Amino acid sequence: MNHRLIDAVRRAGALFAAAVLALSVAGCGVNNVPTLEEQAKARWGEVQNQYQRRADLIPNLVETVKGFARQEQEVLTSVIEARAKATQVTIDASQLSDPEAVKRFQEAQGQLSGALGRLLAVSENYPDLKSNQNFLALQSQLEGTENRIAVARRDYIAAVQSYNTELRTIPGRWIAGWLYPEAKPMAAFESAPENAAPPKVSF
């Protein structure tokens, strides 16, 4: 009886020591999951801000082009419609773990990128438009915004990779299971190959 009791105490002690060791190893990273999650959400916010900045430039760009190329109504209409759709498809931070929601957002923005690319290609046919100061200013702002979008998207993808890796590796996987069971991997935001490069806005 004494031997059994001693064995049981030893096993309990070994389990306790293992648990303490695991917690001490993981202790320094106990806040990694929520920290990385908040960082990814913040990066997503920047992606949305830059896409909104682009959307805000489009009405003035369309009006300027219309003044010189009114006959390009089909292209102008496609930009306006693509902008309307892109501004309607939004994602808040709680939807970032839904790949379909991220895909819908991505597709809407990709369609707007394509429509903008066609609009800027059309402007090549109008020398007066290309030399118009308002158009040149809008072109410069759009180019800067496309660069900011690319940077924001890259930073978001990197933040999501760090967060998802934390959820899938040890000790992050254990910590998430114990302390943050609601934590779910986030969907990466990746452009389709045809939209990998921003629309060309310099001539």
- Per residue in 192-203, pLDDT (tens digit) is 544 444 444 443
Range 138-142 contact pairs with CB under 8 angstroms and sequence separation of 24 or more: 138/57, 138/60, 138/61, 138/64, 139/201, 139/202, 139/203, 140/201, 141/57, 142/54, 142/57, 142/61, 142/116, 142/199, 142/201
Q: Which two tokens stand for residue 17?
A: 């020591």
Per-residue tens of pLDDT for the chain, all 203 residues = 566 666 665 776 666 655 555 555 545 678 999 999 999 999 999 999 999 999 999 999 999 999 999 889 999 999 999 999 999 999 988 999 999 999 999 999 999 999 999 999 988 899 999 899 999 999 999 999 999 999 999 999 999 999 999 999 999 999 999 999 999 999 987 655 444 444 444 43
Domain ranges of the chain: 32-195
Q: Greatest CA span in the chain, whole angstroms?
A: 100
Q: Give the pLDDT score at 66.
A: 92
What three-state secondary structure class fits 201?
A: coil
Cis peptide before 171 (omega within 30 of 0): yes
3.40.50.720, 1.20.1440.20, 1.10.287.3510, 1.10.1330.10: which CATH number matches 32-195? 1.20.1440.20
CB 47 within 8 A of CB 156: yes
- Exposed (0-12), middle (13-18) or buried (19+): which is 3, by Cβ within 10 Å? exposed
Could you give the CA distance from residue 23 to residue 29 in angstroms, rounded to a whole number? Answer: 10
Share of the chain above pLDDT 90, in %: 71
Residues 63-85 pLDDT 10s: 999 999 988 999 999 999 999 99
Enter the pTM of the model: 0.79
